[in-house]
Structure 1
Amino acid sequence: MQSGPLYLIGPSGNPNFGDEFIAAAWLRYLAEVRPDADVWLDCPQPGLAQVLFDGLHPRLRVTNTLWRLVHETAEVPLEDAAETIRARVTGLGSPSYDLGLLKLREAESLHLIGGGFINETWSHHAGLVLAMRAVHSLTGARLIATGQGLMPELTSAPAEMPLFQDFAHAAARDEAGAQAYGISQELDDAFLGVTAEIARSTAEPGLYVCIQSDTADPERFGTAVELARAAVEKAASRGTNAYYVEAIPGADRVAYEQLADLIPEERFLPFVHIWAHGLPLSASQTWVTSRFHFHLLAAAAGARGLAVGMKKGYYDVKHESLASLGSGWSLALDGDNPGIPEHRGRLRDDLPDLVARKRAEAASIYPPLPGQSASAGLTAGSLTAKLLNKALTAPRRSKIRPGAF
């Protein structure tokens, strides 16, 4: 196997809290275990990604070589796009791509980091996998995919199946995706960073809300806002403050505008704030949210909540995967309104084991280099346990000052 840069591929830079959180988690992990490696992140918006991840790995470089190639071929059938992608990667000949493609040929590994972006909803993104396989055919670089959300199943270009052929490691974050593609089922990549996020953030007791307007079935948005409104009104009747948390700027503001008569602007927490200071997390919270990673992180901290499904075949699979891990949250997936449960699930109690499981997967992908002391991993594991214990037992008081943004 050749040695060279570690090349990550993900949908970063939009910004989208969940996607950015996953990329940041891998960069922090690689800074811990491979601080001397050159790390490249290939993403759609490299300019903003460079700002978001500044300082997370000492040798980080950011580009959009593969994402440009995939977006350039997005409007043609995937089978035709596949031919163009393979020819471009293996044959070169385009001045606007060649330097980036040559850098790909130096990579030790190509790693498709987690998220729900390789599926029929965005079928052209499968071109990323095809490009990775084309590089592998030239150089033998190790191919990796972790934490993939692959449903609804890709139906285009059956000649390219199995999609993850030649991958040294490929894992889906839910059972349906693992079975559909014949790959292993592991945890969402956010579990690699959940401990540190719980430890760095603080939160007042209260109700926290986030309802998206993007990637939603048309009839679901209005229903979701009404569910949130009912929960905010119930909280207010009990003297409980409600906060609104933004995962994607703009896309999450739409619902807030419809709830602004109940949630004042000073309790609107913009993406910039939560990225800089941490997502407010506490076992004394309740949540109503459609965002998958808010569900994951809040349940991991011990919060109770209601997860609202916004797109059938996509978000229901996401939220059900967390319910199966013991989040304990109610799921409103088909117009029902089950309410917020009275008791939290087991996810917080199981979190040390889940974090250890995710770190074991990461260590199998990026093992210690020859001559590197194994004690570093033990120290990191001990630190993880201490941070997790501190995060889950410390009193949570607010340091939120959203008005500063």
Structure 2
Amino acid sequence: MGLRNIIKNHLPVSSRSFHSDAEYMKEMLERMMHENAQLQRQLGAMSAELAQSRHEMVDLVINEHRHKKVHYLIGEAGFPNYGDELITREWLKYLAHVDPETPVVLDCMRPGPATALLRPYHPHFQATDTVARMTVENSFVEQAEVHRDIPVQDIANHVTGSLDEEGRAARVAAGIRLIRNNVATMHAIGGGYMNSKWVANLARLAAPLWAQRHGMPSIATGAGLVPLKDEDLHFVREVAQTLEAFTCRDEHSLEAVNNGEDGPAKLAADDCFVNGLEGVYADPAGLPDIMLCIQEDMVEGREPLFEHVRRILEAWNVAPDAEIGVVECIPYECGPLLDMLTQAGYRPRLFPMQIIFEEGFPAREGQRWLSTRYHPHLLAAAKGCEGTYVVVEPGYYDVKHEAVLRMGSRWTQSAVGDTDIPQPGPGFKDPSVRFTYRDEIRKTASVLYPMRP
């Protein structure tokens, strides 16, 4: 028995009515199948259009990114060295506040570590080494036995010439094109990395010089340029006269650039004050009362330095079993100091660079500090800590510490071999001056970046 007869036997309808309904259902089914086929074709067409739109959108985003202007920073983060990382981070935080949608490119010698360290502080951050590599990958540096003997102008000419003609530095041609086509502003941020001691670093100022001359507003802020050789002065003065703004963090650098006159360079606080040191410090709970930051890289032989540290701790009546905080600015630099303190009966507690960078600088009121380094002196004194600084390289580090005194520190000075051991001097008389420094730095940078509350 067929399906039609089975259905017919169970339905109280006439044969004619049944056949009529069955034909109607068949027509409806065929129409639905036809409409479904049309719908499938329409969906296929829509899918193809959507895929094409997706490709066009991706191309649009790529092209927009390719042509979007960026803020270009020249700096020295990535080694890492706490002071350089601090300054770069504070500028990134500021730019994330005032201009978050504009990408920021940092040009430094070690862009990989710099990216890992600084990525959290700006939503559109990247690092490269275009200018940094041009200053060291050239015939002048490759043929010189002592890099500091190279005239900075020779390396600077290579940088500007390569920016004009990428074939001179083809390994970084992509980076050169980024500078030529995508830079809105260029900014050599502060620090002590550009001077005649490291002449290739000093030559990085050629990039903002070139940028300014090619219609890209450029500045240099918080520069510590000492030591600065006479043969390098002409280049630095040319940069200072050309840029929109040029500030120095110490009076020796300012006097050299301006030739002792009222020139284009201006005196300013360290760039780390750009945000008023907000968010820079660690939770004060549990921090040691005595803190050390002692470097060996600027002295000949560590034992005289360590003996001087021991004598200072004794003169300060630090108990033999006291906990002493040891701040590390460059990884691995504190091992011998930790050993010395342990052997002397103290309980050293290491504050590694990575920890103080992420969790905050371990300074609080009531501490006593002994430091050879510049930024630990500056940050601890600005927090109100008492302390003494030890000069380890006259002509370089004494200039740095004098700059901190000018900014507000009242710490005492000591030198290896001194027979008279000073008691620690007070920190900043007016800690709120950090906000004055903040406003001054931001005003200088306002030629590049919008100012917001």
Q: What TM-score, normalized by structure 2, do the two folds share?
A: 0.75
Is the alpha carbon distance of 1:162 and 1:295 closer, same or farther for their aligned partners in structure 2, counting shifts above 3 Å? same
* Structure 2 counterparts to residues 271-290 of structure 1, below 5 A: 271-290=353-372
Aligned to 1:111: 187
**What does residue 396 of structure 2 align with?**
314
| Pairs within 5 Å for 1:5-404 | 5-73=70-138, 74-75=141-142, 76=144, 77-78=150-151, 79-93=153-167, 94-105=169-180, 106-137=182-213, 139-157=214-232, 160=235, 162-164=237-239, 165-182=241-258, 183-198=265-280, 200-203=282-285, 204-214=287-297, 216-218=298-300, 221-233=302-314, 234-237=316-319, 240-262=322-344, 267-333=349-415, 335-336=417-418, 337-341=420-424, 343-368=426-451, 377-378=452-453
Q: Which runs of 5+ in 1 are unaligned?
A: 369-376, 379-405
Q: Which has the higher helix share?
A: 2
Q: CA deviation at 1:166?
A: 1.4
C-alpha contact (below 8 Å) 2:370/2:387 kept by paired residues: yes
TM-score (norm 1): 0.83
Q: Percent identity, aligned pairs only?
A: 31
What SS does the aligned partner of 2:278 have?
helix
Please identify, of 164-173 and 338-347, the stretch whose mean Cα deviation from structure 2 is larger: 338-347
Q: Is the 8 A contact 2:249 2:267 kept in 1?
A: yes
Q: Are the equivalent residues in 2 in contact too, given 1:86–1:130 (CA < 8 A)? A: yes
Cα pair distance change 1:357/1:287, threshold 3 Å: same
Q: How many residues align?
A: 366
The 1-side partners of 2:310 and 2:158 are apart by 49
Q: Is the 8 A contact 2:131 2:204 kept in 1?
A: yes
Q: 8 Å contact 1:207–1:235 — kept in the other structure?
A: no
Cα distance per residue 1:369-398 (max 9 Å; x no partner):
xxxxxxxx23xxxxxxxxxxxxxxxxxxxx
Which is bigger in relative contact order (C-alpha 8 A, separation at least 6)? 1
**Partner Cα distance (1:8, 1:23) in 2:** 9
Q: Is the 8 A contact 1:217 1:312 kept in 2?
A: no
Deviates more, 1:195-204 or 1:34-43: 195-204
Q: Decide whether aligned partners of structure 1 residues 224 and 191 sit closer, same or farther in structure 2, where only a CA change above 3 A counts.
A: farther
Work out the CA distance in 1 between the residues paired with 2:320 and 2:430.
27
Query: RMSD value over aligned CA atoms?
Result: 2.5
The 3 A distance-change label for structure 1 pair 40 and 186 is same
Contact residue 160 and residue 210 of structure 2 kept, 8 A: yes
CA 1:81–1:31: 2 relative to 1, 3 Å: same
1:205, CA displacement in angstroms?
A: 4.4
Structure 2 portions without partners, runs of 5+: 1-66, 145-149, 259-264
Displacement of 1:284 in angstroms is 1.1
Kept in 2, the 8 Å contact 1:123–1:154? The answer is no
In structure 2, relative to structure 1, the CA distance for the partners of 1:199 and 1:126 (3 Å cut) is closer
Deviates more, 1:289-298 or 1:253-262: 253-262
1:151 positional shift: 0.8
Partner secondary structure for residue 274 of structure 1: helix
